[in-house]
Copies of this chain bind each other. A is one copy, B any other.
């Protein structure tokens, strides 16, 4: 895996949109992103270009319009980003972050069961490795 330069905040926003809407032209991404925050079309364009330069997206001309597609998978980017955060904020130990999330941010009732299951599963697996 070639190691790409990390995504900046703004780039991340655009990448997220791209994951959500799938392959799309500048116009589309701009519109989708505009629902979250105000931004110029040309700005979105620049981000998309940089995304491609950094290896997180590809593009190809479809007729007159350039269509961008996410290349890196969200899962991967998320992992890299979170890894970095955990390193920086907690010296690599993820438990404090989990604790923080559960304590400080509301977890939906309906998610609690899922969590419990996750934990049980880990418990079983961990019990034998």
Which residue numbers of A lie inside 8 Å of B, CB to CB?
9, 12-13, 16, 78-79, 81-83, 85-86, 88-89, 91, 94-95, 97-109, 111-112, 114-116, 118-119, 122-123, 126-127
State the CA gap A79–B105 with chains docked (Å).
Answer: 9
Asked if A79 meets B95 with Cβ closer than 8 Å, knowing A16-B88, A112-B126, the reply is: no
A97, B126: Cβ atoms under 8 Å?
A: no
Copies of the protein in its oligomer: 2
Chain B's closest residue to A91 (CB) is: B16
Q: Which of B102, B122, B127 contacts A118 (CB 8 A)?
A: B102
Least Cβ–Cβ distance between A98 and chain B, in angstroms: 5
State the CA gap A109–B126 with chains docked (Å).
Answer: 7
B122, A88: Cβ atoms under 8 Å?
A: no
Asked if A101 meets B118 with Cβ closer than 8 Å, knowing A13-B88, A109-B127, the reply is: no
Q: Which of B98, B105, B112 contacts A123 (CB 8 A)?
A: B112
